[in-house]
Amino acid sequence: MNNNSLSMVSNMSPRIFEHDYVTGVLGIKLPLNESAPYSIAIQRRIIEEQLQLEGFFADFKKLGGKVKEFALGIRFIVEDPKRIKDFVAQVLAVADEQFQKFQKWSEKTLKMTKKLVSEYKVKAMQMVGELTKKLKDALEKLWNAVNKMDGWKRALFAIAAAVGVRYVWDQITGSGADELTQEEKLARIDAAMGAMRGDDTSESILHSTPSLVAAMYDTNTDERLDEFLKGLKDKAKKAGSAIKDKASKVASGAKDKAKDLGKKAAKKADEKTGASAAKEKFPPKTQKLIDEWVKTFKKLGAKIGKKFMAGIAIQAIAGALSGGISTAFAFMAKAFGGIKYVLKVAGEPMSRFVGQIKNSKEEAKEAEEGEDDPTDEKTKKEAYIRAYVQQILKEERYESIT
């Protein structure tokens, strides 16, 4: 590219080369040493990003009804840095409460499943933990990705993040999985695990023996106190002997079993009987609650499915955006249970921007024809872009010949 091309761009001064548009709409992070007129490499990148933005709306005419109106709103938003910023804040706000609830719910769920799997070998709860971890990782990555992005793609990722969070939380509440982390139910399981660990073994001794205060003040003779102290000593001695005998028998039995089965056989036996052993250990009411967890999460996993998990991956969303607005809507409809759900979640904040369009019918017509916003003088830039691109292509052909 020669100096004539640069002077041509300088004379036109199209909006796409203004700093706020380059960074705020196209999402290009400019190096500190770059300023207008930009280097040839940066100019080429600006053109490429702008053409990608225009190409996203190329199949606008395929849309209809409310989807078309929604797309018109997106088109209006992504032409201005401030609109993008405002829209992202508003669309994320419709899912922020659900995201915070999801975070707390997932943390409680993972904490409980970790205990049940690692300490008590409740293998069925492993599925619960794995599903929760996958959902948590996927939603956090998508939500955080929005805050790391700039430009028009950030607005589209914000829609996907808000709808994704709302969709997941609706499935969680719809299946009843949110109720499983209620403090009362978690406390019941904790208490059962505490009893199994022997946290309350001292209670029987304390309740079966009169207190030292009672022995001292409820009697008038020293003999009663001596009798009390002697009783405690005898009880402690008997308890110690019983514990020692029991430990000896358990150790002997374990040794014999290890010899009979071998290390490998013992491991397989433990894995096979892990679930039934857990059922014997837990009280019936607690086991019923654990079974409820497993049943509920199987239901939740079936509702969400692998397609959803793949659909909220950042790479998948980016790929859908490269296919144009029609492809993007089809992608979200498939991932989030229908386009109606997408419009339901993001429709309210979008309506505020659609209402700002001066002549929506005229702009829709222009969009179908692939022309730019007729209501905003600052964004009438397509003619400049095409002229500039044509000039570049002519120069490249000329350079290749010579």
Of 244-248, 338-342, 390-394, give the range with the top mean pLDDT.
Answer: 338-342
Alpha-helical regions (H) of 176-221: 183-197, 202-208, 212-217
Give the span between the Cα atoms of 53 and 158, in whole angstroms.
17
Single out the residue of 143, 146, 161 nearest to residue 346, CA to CA. 161
Q: What Cα–Cα distance (Å) separates residue 70 from each residue in 27, 105, 138, 150, 330? A: 22, 32, 26, 21, 14
Number of domains in the chain: 1
For residue 280, is pLDDT > 70?
Answer: no
Q: What is the pLDDT of residue 37?
A: 83
Q: What is the pLDDT of residue 259?
A: 53
DSSP state, residue 39: P
Flag whether 217 is in a domain.
no
Flag whether 347 is in a domain.
yes
Q: What Cα–Cα distance (Å) separates residue 402 from each residue in 125, 287, 390, 396, 398? A: 71, 82, 19, 10, 6
Flag whether 116 is in a domain.
yes
Give the span between the Cα atoms of 183 and 176, in whole angstroms.
15
Q: What is the pLDDT of residue 222?
A: 52
pLDDT averaged over the chain?
A: 77
Flag whether 18 is in a domain.
no
Flag whether 202 is in a domain.
no
* Spacing of C-alpha 275 from chain mean position: 30
Give the span between the Cα atoms of 112 and 131, in whole angstroms.
14
Flag whether 196 is in a domain.
no
Lowest mean pLDDT among 6-10, 171-175, 243-247, 296-300: 6-10
Q: Average pLDDT in the 92-100 region? A: 97
Q: What is the pLDDT of residue 356?
A: 92
Find the domain containing 158 and state its range.
60-189+304-401
Provide the b/e sequence for 125-155 (b: ≥16 CB within 10 Å).
Answer: bbbbbebbeebbebbeebbebbeebbbbbbb
Flag whether 37 is in a domain.
no
Residues 6 or more apart whose Cβ sits within 8 Å of residue 316: 310, 331
Lowest mean pLDDT among 111-120, 237-246, 252-261: 252-261
Flag whether 268 is in a domain.
no
For residue 384, is pLDDT > 80?
Answer: no
Q: Average pLDDT in the 247-259 region? A: 54
For residue 41, is pLDDT > 60?
Answer: yes
Q: Which two tokens stand for residue 352?
A: 């505020």
Residue type for position 71: A
The CB-side HSE value for 158 (13 A sphere, CA atoms) comes to: 28
